[in-house]
Amino acid sequence: MKKVSAIICVFNEEETLKKVITSVSNDPTVNEIIVVNDGSTDDSERLIKELKQHIEFKDFHLKINKGKGNAMALGVENSINEIIVFIDADQTLITPGYIVQMVNPLLKKECSMVLGYSTVRILNQDVNPLKILTGERALYKDDIIPILDKIKESRFGVETLLYLHFNSIGKSIKFIKLHGLKHRNKYKKMTPFNATTSYVNESWEIALTAIKHYDLIIKSI
């Protein structure tokens, strides 16, 4: 069994991060946990430090928010294992064994990156039109080391960057539906105005990433 590092990036997730970190620590697949607090302004830092008294993990606390991409890159730079699993800190319902589901296709050499996505129920159908943007993903560290500088600058466009990068170099991607996995949406975390503003800003960062790395799109085609 190849060793796995789980990276959990946190930005104002005081309601859910304890449950997420605890669940990851109980997963036998993971032997290293890295928590990156990306400039949270809520009680996340205190909760992380309290959890560290009972659970072994590395923690990094940024004074200001530098974006999801930077937090992910920081976690990768401080990891020691060859397989990386990125975990969102806003999970409200956690499916037991979902990390194993994501890691197994890598071990079986079925693909180079696994995207584990959840769905929403619309008209009696489970859908996720944006599953390439899922935060739950597993990959080999060596595949992203060459683009860490780009990842640091990508902010919320990091998932788009990773998708384009893997396609452009001919690396295969596998999608796995993680049944039962649920996340908090922004309208439950903040005011409607702030939530809408955040979604707009994230959409802009995704679009900007795609435009900035147009060469990767051409290579993919």
DSSP 148-195: HHHHHH-GGGHHHHHHHHHHHTT--EEEEE-TT-EE--GGGTS-HHHH
User: Nearest to residue 51, comparing CAs of 99, 97, 10?
Assistant: 10
User: Nearest to residue 90, comparing CAs of 18, 178, 167?
Assistant: 18
Question: CA–CA separation, 95 vs 152, rounded Å?
Answer: 29
Would you say residue 197 has pLDDT above 50? Answer: yes
For 18-68, the pLDDT digits (tens) are: 999 999 999 999 999 999 999 999 999 999 999 999 999 999 999 999 999
For 90-116, the pLDDT digits (tens) are: 988 888 899 999 999 999 999 999 999
What is the structure's pLDDT at 1?
59
Which amino acid type is present at position 25?
S
Which domain, by its residues, includes 104? 4-220
- Cα atoms in the Cβ-side hemisphere of radius 13 Å centred on 119: 14
What is the structure's pLDDT at 19?
94
CA distances from residue 73 to 25, 29, 155 in whole angstroms, order as listed:
21, 21, 10
DSSP 50: H
Total domains, the chain: 1
* pTM flag (> 0.85): yes
* CATH code, domain carrying 82: 3.90.550.10
Question: CA–CA separation, 2 vs 18, rounded Å?
Answer: 26
Residues 196-212 have a mean pLDDT of 75
